[in-house]
Amino acid sequence: MNKIAKKTTSHPQGLSTRAIHGRQKPEPSTGAVIPPIFATSTFVQSSPGVTTGWEYARSQNPTRAAFEASLAELEGGSAGFAFASGLAAEAAILDLLEHGSHIVASDDLYGGTWRLFHRIRAHSANLALTHVDFSDPDAIEAAITPRTALLWVETPSNPLLKLADLSALAALGRKHGILTVADNTFASPAVQRPLQHGFDLVVHSVTKYIGGHSDIIGGAVVVGGDADLQNRVSFIQNATGGILDPFSSFLGLRGIKTLPLRVERHSANALAVAGWLENHPAVERVLYPGLPSHPQHELALRQMQGGGGMVSVFLKATAKQTVKVLESFKIFALAESLGGVESLVGHPVSMSHGSLPAERRAELGITPNLIRLSIGIEDAADLISDLDQALARL
């Protein structure tokens, strides 16, 4: 009862239609088109244990359920589960594993994910980690051991925008009986849908493209078609209690409704910006899956609908010069996070990946001259003009 029923139609609906209407019905008591914010902690029972399907707001909340159902619809999953942050969602996935399990994970990961793996769960749950370049399927298979319980991938990765072949990884997971998890934060379901490639789970920082307006913190897990896995994630969400609040759920649902439209503009702007940067004399290298110069551009064409809104840039600059550029932007905001309507610029070495040991950053090639651009939905010409004036400081 706590999951909203899926609508049936005579023909498959497009992504934008499903973003607005998928698994949604007007609120039954009032006919409200948009599910309201149910700011309640509990629900009345007509007799002990006899409920309307809603009991206690940690376990179920109608606003959160509407958001979860909508996100599951976009990802093509059986159910969604919303959490208080992206890391809370990741922690819930790790709770699926037995103590002492082994994880094979991308070498290029968000710094917060690396911190959760290595500085929390390696100690509290004795989890073992092996990091592999997920663009190399042979290296992934070689890293699998009898204790391996999970393959964890970011694609595109943060911040080097590496891609992983989702279909090949899903097949590898099935071959070895291993759960497969894709962090789809950088792409969003408007760009790619890992469950359709055979993945078991998708995780999101809802804070980013799903919310889309830099005004909430949230996370989500979407489960494919495995009913047992769905029940286990549901149990963990309720038992550990790191749920998304009703107001943030309301804003997340609002974000979903414009996601395809926003991401279309993010991707178009990012392609224009990345192409311009490739020809700038102060730029050493541009990483963007939508550019033919990206080493995995052909894979991007196969499994992504557009290149997404993230662009990583290596400048021909010292660390000090790079900081000077970062301090010179007028439209791009120097700030953590990504995926909002406004353009942001970040410095992975000192911001998103500051929690990684310096030697680990050096191994990965996350150097002081690397900047990460989250391209917003402003006019592309204005973004290019801002980049031009900032790079003129070099």
CATH number assigned to the domain covering 15-254: 3.40.640.10
With 80 as the cut, is the pLDDT of residue 247 above it?
yes
- Among the listed residues 107, 108, 183, 386, the single catalytic one is 183
64 is catalytic: no
What are the tokens at 65? 């359920």
Q: Per the CATH hierarchy, to which homologous superfamily does domain 259-392 belong?
A: Aspartate Aminotransferase, domain 1 (3.90.1150.10)
Domain with CATH 3.40.640.10 in the chain: 15-254
Q: What is the mean pLDDT of residues 76-84?
A: 98
- Among the listed residues 64, 107, 108, 110, the single catalytic one is 110
- Closest-CA residue to 280 (of 391, 380, 181): 391
Residue 1: predicted pLDDT = 40
- Among the listed residues 25, 58, 324, 393, the single catalytic one is 58
183 is catalytic: yes
Q: What is the mean pLDDT of residues 320-324?
A: 97
Query: Per-residue pLDDT tens for 164-198?
Result: 999 999 999 999 999 999 999 999 999 999 999 99
- The helix/strand/coil state of 148 is strand
Between the CA of residue 168 and those of 45, 95, 149, 194, what are the distances in Å? 49, 25, 17, 11
For 255-292, the DSSP string reads HHHHHHHHHHHHHHHHHHHHHHHHT-TTEEEEE-TTST
Cβ-based neighbours of 147, under 8 Å, separated by 6 or more? 100, 101, 102, 128
Domain with CATH 3.90.1150.10 in the chain: 259-392
Residue 360: predicted pLDDT = 86
Across the chain, mean pLDDT equals 95
58 is catalytic: yes
Confidence of residue 211 (pLDDT cuts 50, 70, 90): very high
107 is catalytic: no
| pTM of the complete model | 0.94
Q: What is the mean pLDDT of residues 145-173?
A: 97
- Among the listed residues 64, 121, 193, 208, the single catalytic one is 208
